Structure 1
Amino acid sequence: RGSGFGPGRGCWPGPAPRLSLCPLGRAQNVKQLYALVCETQRYSAVLDAVIASAGLLRAEKKLRPHLAKVLVYELLLGRGFRGGAGRWKPLLNRHQARLKAELARLKVHRGVSRNEDLLEVGCRPGLASQVPRFVRVNTLKTCSDNVIDYFKRQGFSYQGRASSLEDLRALKGKCFLLDPLLSELLVFPAQTDLHDHPLYLAGHLILQDKASCLPALLLDPPPGSHVIDACAAPGNKTSHLAALLKNQGKIFAFDLDAKRLASMATLLARTGVSCCQLAEEDFLAVSPSDQRYRQVQYILLDPSCSGSGMVTRQLEEPGAGAPSKERLQALAGFQQRALCHALTFPSLQRLVYSTCSLCQEENEDVVRDALQQSAGTFRLAPVLPSWPHRGLSTFPGAEHCLRASPETTLTGGFFIAVLERAEVPSSVSQAETSAPEHIPSAAPKRKKRRCKAAAAPSAPPRT
């Protein structure tokens, strides 16, 4: 989550690019293969109807159904084989006329003229495919001014700071903007692919959805703070926390998945993070009384969730139904335990709870129950009053929570709640609590400056 893996990374709503299938499993371009499979899945019901009507699987006993579906998509809805497909091309050519006839008959039967119109409404490209490409500038290595200059030298047209969502919707071609809220967030058209860009490969850029940038921004730990990232992998939010800390202080990052943690370590190294301690450990097993965490005043909790708000899920699994009640109950139970556990850390002053879920059970309900169990020790902090999408009115104060969606904020679906301590714990010294805590309500204002750690004028930066 939060990796930026979306429309620009091989999954787009239009026809998939031509792919040489020789055989399918040895495709040279993995991104094109991914796009082909996504598009085949989107047209799955249509392809099933055409294949069944044409009797393809009855005639070709050795052809597996899933492979047949991919091949028929490429033949009828993609770019054709054009010299590819190896031993499968003669087989498909034998049935080509019949398959095309059945597709045409299906259109006549449904009264449509375009392939796209054969799709169910929930499978057609919607707002999810229009979410822009958000790019966070990694201030541990460079700054926005220098990144903007670098893109301008590459032929991109910088349009300045956006003033509204309409500015973001209007982005096309090689134009880009500065986000109206986050001063280190650049915005490109949805189909912009920057995964092979030298600034990304060097760790100067993080491909991260805007909604995914809000948790660290709203936690707002000052440099020198001790912070816990409770469910940290894959690490985009952790790297954002480190940038806010300017690598001064400590981040204790926990995750149970060893592979994801290894990938996270690679990401943190590439992005220049040096203040983070990774631990392959269940956050629920971390003792709040451990002396290592006695100075932790900030916790970011972004636990496992249904992912129902993820743009990539909407594109890859169009029409996918809501998670089952049983799965939601299991996830919500874990999320509530994790949140209640986090609130027991003795020096905790501020916590951000976030999910990429749209489900009330994982969002407002979890926060409400945790606040009830905290018995008045913590309260919801009012943040970003101008944010247009608020929490569901399921309990008093829920309007302080934030929601995000492609429709209302041009981002992935997200939920964020900021909890702050309503009383000063005795374990925190007077010196630590004498200064009022800063609650960000807009993008942090910083003086414009030219960075030393900048992208080179004529060559990509090196790690």
Structure 2
Amino acid sequence: TISSPPPLSPPCFIFPHILSPICSLHLIFLQTSSPLSFSSALSAYLRAAAIFQRLRTDKPITQRLLHYGKKTDTPLLESRDRTTQKQAYQLAFNTLRCIAVCPCVFEVTCNIPPDLLPLAMVMLFDLQDRKFLKHERPVEEGQELLQEVRDLESCLYSKTKLAASLARCRVRQGLLSISCLLSDSVRTKQHRARLLPLYAWVNTLKTSIEEVCEALQAEGLCKVETVSDLKESAFCRDPLCPDTLVFSQQLYTRLQHSKLTFTHALNIQDRSVCVAVSALRPLLFDDSDVLVAGSFSALTVAHITVLAAAHSGRVLVCGADCTPLQREEIEDVLRQMDIKNVRILSEQFCDLDEWDGTVQRLKVIVVLPQCSLSALNDPVNTIHSEHGDCDLLQDLSQGSVSQSKLHSLATEQARLLVHALTFPKVQSVVYCTRSVHPEENEQLVKTVLENARTHPKLLPFRVSGPVFPEAPGSADTADKFFRIEPSQHTNGCFIARLAREVREAETVQDVLARAAAKGLLGGINPDQAKTSKKGRARKSHAPATSTKPLSPSAVQTEIKLATGQNAGGVSTLPVPLSVLKEKGMEDLNSDEEEDKEEGHEEDDGPKGERRRGTHTHTHTHTHTYTEKPGGIFYNAVYSHNRLH
């Protein structure tokens, strides 16, 4: 069983002669493949074979056509050679996806020893995927072609036998191609992945989007209006992400070696993450912190940091939730991009609490949990870049994720989201998955909100939307959730933006009515106490009763409970302008209302004389709405004075 790459040996001693024709032929591909060297390519195949052997599923003995070596559950160690590891993931995923083709290759592989069969299968399906074509690599100057390559060129005839075997299988089953053996969902995703454009965000700390566009046009690329207009040498701007550009997939190699990418002025990343970061823009506060929790790449941290820097903000990352290699990768990327406003905490996210000194400036939390990745056309790059769970490759290669796996993922997602809602100073939470399953998306968010415990002095979290109200073709639903369906133009994602908001039916009159019901208004009916600005006939009151006069602090306390004010009397929580308009309260800024009521009564003087007396009641309502980053801040003060 292959668990880790063995020491490299000369090609002629790596495989026994029984592996011919597959393995001996593929040695030529190893030594002529680009851009990896022979040793790197061999390491990629060995790692891919180990992943395939670990993730494959065994059929009942009576249905087995191929007999692999003994299966092990040994964890796969991460490699510091990220390029080789990514290629190994891709090779293993392609082999798992094409496992239905096994009957077609049975006659070719029947003589291969079981322990070497995983390696042979990985090689075979890589050949088939490339239609048995070599990627020629020119010999570097000063080097001669290895003698072993010359000797093995005589084995090239073997590819004809391999191709013929697959062709016979295809003809017997009446298929146009071998890929027709795949399920419809797998074949659709495979087709979309080959057409998917490239997305890259601009580092606005180094340059501007306009300067990058000018540089690209100077290199011969043309700018078009929409993604559907993209051609091989064209690019356009993303309609949802103002700092993101879209390129044809044929430009990948050119972009990878461009100066813009080398200096991190342009950063290639999947659109599903770029959209989630863009949803943060209207939520950022000046001089405040943003915390990133869950599963994410180093580029995601850098992208959020660039946005936060525009508001003099800082980004927090829980280092204990990252693998050592992932933490090292984050630090390297931040150092290369000269980013300083990031703090990597030593704690796990779920170990932080409201009393921790590191979260006192925390206003926004971004929750990017591990998910099923079912909305991605090809999940390999995401699993690789985010150091995700490679065990998902088995389920995704067959087009669906098991219910047990979904339940396990949803449990962890709910745990992260519940904890994110416990920080009293946090105003907004952005929750994002790359999943199409409601169990990970809207159902989970609704369940968490319904069971969330909110401090009585704080406004509860509610779904806030729309996330992109002005975006063309916005997919916002009536529930205010945002989702992008996977297509040949983009991978899919789900976004929920949660914010502390007042109830939609809550008005100042509702607050006063609730205060009156609790006896905080001193027996005064709020409907009778309020008068119109245009004037209302003042009524005479009966002699004052012995009821205790109204305590202004009591009323203000009630209003603070409903509007989220702090001890200073100014609301610390944003109230969206759309909510105020729905209540007809947008014109009440700096509005004061006074109600003076005068009455006369007769008292007995000290000597039995009767004298006239006056008393005055003054009710003052002050409503203040202040527009600040994050929303409209509302302050309401009610006071009552009685003068005799």
Length-normalised TM-score, structure 1: 0.76
Q: 1:301 aligns with which of 333, 357, 367?
A: 367
Q: Distance in 2 between matches of 1:131 and 1:428?
A: 53
Q: Distance in 1 between matches of 2:399 and 2:182?
A: 16
CA shift in 2, pair 1:359/1:19, >3 Å: same
How do residues 305-454 of structure 1 correspond to structure 2 at under 5 angstroms? 305-313=371-379, 319-374=397-452, 377-383=460-466, 384-385=468-469, 386=471, 387-390=473-476, 399-407=479-487, 410-423=489-502, 424-427=563-566, 430=570, 432-433=572-573, 435-436=626-627
Q: 2:246 aligns with which of 164, 183, 187?
A: 187
Q: Distance in 2 between matches of 1:204 and 1:354?
A: 25
Between 211-220 and 260-269, the greater mean CA deviation after superposition: 211-220
Q: Distance in 1 between matches of 2:405 and 2:151?
A: 41
Shift of 1:286: 0.4
Between 336-345 and 315-324, the greater mean CA deviation after superposition: 315-324
How do residues 28-39 of structure 1 correspond to structure 2 at under 5 angstroms? 30=84, 39=94
Q: Distance in 2 between matches of 1:332 and 1:75?
A: 38
Contact 2:296 2:368 in 1 (8 A): no
Contact 2:291 2:362 in 1 (8 A): yes
CA shift in 2, pair 1:227/1:45, >3 Å: same
Q: Distance in 1 between matches of 2:564 and 2:410?
A: 28
CA shift in 2, pair 1:206/1:101, >3 Å: closer
Contact 2:316 2:342 in 1 (8 A): yes
Q: Distance in 2 between matches of 1:50 and 1:412?
A: 32
Q: 1:68 aligns with which of 95, 111, 120?
A: 120
CA shift in 2, pair 1:181/1:305, >3 Å: closer
CA shift in 2, pair 1:351/1:421, >3 Å: same
How do residues 31-430 of structure 1 correspond to structure 2 at under 5 angstroms? 39-46=94-101, 48-54=102-108, 56-58=109-111, 60-61=112-113, 64-73=116-125, 77-80=131-134, 89=152, 98-124=161-187, 125-159=190-224, 162=225, 167-193=226-252, 194-220=255-281, 221-231=284-294, 233-246=296-309, 248-255=312-319, 256-257=321-322, 258-313=324-379, 319-374=397-452, 377-383=460-466, 384-385=468-469, 386=471, 387-390=473-476, 399-407=479-487, 410-423=489-502, 424-427=563-566, 430=570
RMSD: 3.5
Give the 3-state SS of the residue equivalent to 1:305 in structure 2.
coil
Whose RCO is larger (CA < 8 A, sep 6+)?
Answer: 1
Paired residue type of 1:199 = L
CA shift in 2, pair 1:286/1:273, >3 Å: same
- Residue aligning to 1:5: none
Note the alpha carbon deviations across 1:41-82, whole angstroms, 9 max, x for none.
544432x2333124x332x44882123224434655321598
Contact 2:294 2:369 in 1 (8 A): yes
CA shift in 2, pair 1:427/1:300, >3 Å: farther
Percent identity, aligned pairs only, is 25
Contact 1:404 1:414 in 2 (8 A): yes
Note the alpha carbon deviations across 1:128-170, whole angstroms, 9 max, x for none.
43321111001111111111122122221222xx3xxxx3133
Shift of 1:210: 2.5
CA shift in 2, pair 1:170/1:34, >3 Å: farther
CA shift in 2, pair 1:179/1:96, >3 Å: closer
Shift of 1:111: 1.7
Larger radius of gyration: 2
Structure 1 residue 25 and structure 2 residue 72: aligned?
no
Contact 1:168 1:187 in 2 (8 A): yes
Contact 1:219 1:352 in 2 (8 A): yes
Length-normalised TM-score, structure 2: 0.56
Note the alpha carbon deviations across 1:248-272, whole angstroms, 9 max, x for none.
1222222412321221122222233
Give the 3-state SS of the residue equivalent to 2:445 in structure 1.
helix
CA shift in 2, pair 1:80/1:279, >3 Å: same
Note the alpha carbon deviations across 1:151-190, whole angstroms, 9 max, x for none.
122221222xx3xxxx313312111111223221111013
Contact 1:355 1:415 in 2 (8 A): yes
Paired residue type of 1:262 = E
Shift of 1:358: 1.8
Between 60-69 and 246-255, the greater mean CA deviation after superposition: 60-69
Shift of 1:309: 2.1
How many residues are aligned here?
408
Q: Distance in 1 between matches of 2:364 and 2:133?
A: 52
- Residue aligning to 2:139: none
Between 147-156 and 381-390, the greater mean CA deviation after superposition: 381-390
Give the 3-state SS of the residue equivalent to 1:312 in structure 2.
coil
Contact 1:225 1:296 in 2 (8 A): yes
